[in-house]
Structure 1
Amino acid sequence: MKYTIDRTTRDNIPTCDKAKDYLATVGGNFNKVNKAEKGNYLRLLANTQYDGVSRVREHILKMSSYPKKLKDMDVNLPDDYLVFQILEFLPPQFGNLRSQYNTQRDTWNITELTVYVV
């Protein structure tokens, strides 16, 4: 098992007597990659703006895919945060929708937001 791993990775792993310990150590090295991927999706969620070319519904679906991927990595973001982020990056012609959302007592989930965007 040890010799099937890339040499650069193998050289950085201490010697272990049991395969279970060895795999745990190898898995620990890949947590760094997972953190970078989390950071990438969080950055995309915070900075993805509507491009003006695609449909707004497609933009919402693209933005809602990031939290789903983050949830698989044990990062749970509330739906109201996602709705807020999406509304903030919509084009100016959706100002009425943003105002309507802000004046209501209830919060919307992603499904409700896609219904209101026609």
Structure 2
Amino acid sequence: LLGDRFLAAREASGDLRLTALRPDGSTGDLGTVTGLKAPEDGDGRGTTWTLDPAAGKLAWVGTDDTVHVTAPQQAVSPLVVTHSAVPATSAGEWGASWWLSKPAASWKLTLV
């Protein structure tokens, strides 16, 4: 699965290989997650491991059924506006919407 600047893939051994995807196009080894619960079917994506591509978090179930959550790397993409609709009505009212690249805990709008 593709995360925010990293890739997670299940290896034949059952471990998860984590690879950094750098802005310059190069890659780097972020290590391996071991001790994952064996999936009932396939490679376990969405059942024994998954990731949040917006937050850069990886979650997996261990062999003891404990859920683990970690951030494979510290740098994540910045929050940006991906789309906006700012229509004005003939009555002078204003209704606007903004779509962000990932969830935001809070936001602030400054009109100049």
Which structure exhibits the higher relative contact order, with contacts defined as CA atoms closer than 8 Å and separated by 6 or more residues?
1
Using structure 1 for the length normalisation, give the TM-score: 0.29
- Structure (1 or 2) with the greater strand fraction: 2
